Amino acid sequence: MLLENKVAVIYGAAGSIGSTVSLAFAKEGAMVFLTGRTKEKLEVVANEINRSGGKAMAAVVDANKEEEVNNHLKEVIKIAGRIDVSFNLIEIQNKQNIPLVEMTPHDLVDPVEKTMHTQFITLTAAGRAMLKQGSGVLLSLTATPGGVGYPGVGGFGPACAALENFSRGLAIELGTYGVRVVNIRSGGSPDSRPFAEAMKTDPGLHTAVIKKMKSDTMLKELPMMKDIANIAVFLASDMAAKITGVTIDATVGTTCGLNYRTTV
């Protein structure tokens, strides 16, 4: 198993992508500490992991509150002795499908501020613990607008770019202590909760959006949640021991060049 004896802390572990990553980590042998704001939802994921022979513990933690994050990590270290992986997957609300020239300053800045606030808290808290133990992996997740101009995404694009830049900076500062920092840039998973909710709201528009997103990729497909989870498992494992300070692109080629006009 790729993550045998590893200790992972997942924020937003009850969400669609958070639970998928948590289950994948546990399947590969990691002891997973699940956090979020709703205990009942976290326990559903924890019970599924434990019933299948994995190891998981759930705790209510607000990843936007520094004191709660720090106190929880102290508890993790008390129980497991170390922290090998930290991955913040909480969802940040943002306004999209509005032209930038029609947005308010708050509309643009709010998702950037909220993204960087929670990511700074969780990444630096785990980073401090990892530099003391001399090892660890800090993961983060962004999307296509982090690497290429994309219309109609409002503050989501700047938020992704800011997080990717922060990830690189953290990698430089923590690398000499044996800590790796890697970001994953997803093309958007159509089986995730935000897409499912959009489908219920406006099935016709949602189908058209997914079709356009797929047409922009090189393989005419989008990464599913399990694809992102598999990449995270690899990056958290010792097989990726020399990968740090980069964004791993899982946009199916979109950020390398829009491909919808190509014909063979």
Q: Name every residue whose Cβ is closer than 8 Å to that of residue 190 and which is 6 or more positions away in sequence.
A: 210, 222, 224
Strand partners for 140 = 183
* DSSP SS3 for 52: coil
What's CA 244's distance to the chain center, in Å?
A: 16
Strand partners for 249 = 185
Q: Which domains does the chain have, with CATH numbers?
A: 7-189+223-256 (3.40.50.720)
Angle, helices 203-216 vs 193-201, to 10°: value is 130
Q: What is the tally of helices (H) and strands (E) in the chain? A: 8, 7
Give the strands of the sheet with 85-88, arranged side by side. 55-60, 31-36, 7-11, 85-88, 136-143, 179-186, 246-250
Contact between 21 and 89 (Cβ < 8 Å): yes
User: Which runs of E-coded beta strand occur in 119-228?
Assistant: 136-143, 179-186
pLDDT at 256: 80
- Per-residue model confidence as pLDDT tens for the chain (264 residues): 999 999 999 999 999 999 999 999 999 999 999 999 999 999 999 999 999 999 999 999 999 999 999 999 999 999 999 999 999 999 998 888 899 999 999 999 999 999 999 999 999 999 999 999 999 999 999 999 999 888 888 999 999 999 999 999 999 999 999 999 999 999 888 888 777 776 677 777 668 878 888 888 888 889 999 999 999 999 999 999 999 999 999 999 888 876 655 555
CA dist 68 and 73 (Å) reads 9
CA dist 244 and 107 (Å) reads 32
Contact between 22 and 49 (Cβ < 8 Å): yes
Q: Name every residue whose Cβ is closer than 8 Å to that of residue 124 and which is 6 or more positions away in sequence.
A: 170
Residue 11 region, left (φ>0) first, then alpha (ψ -120 to 50), else beta? Answer: beta
pLDDT at 161: 97
pLDDT at 204: 72
Strand partners for 137 = 85, 180
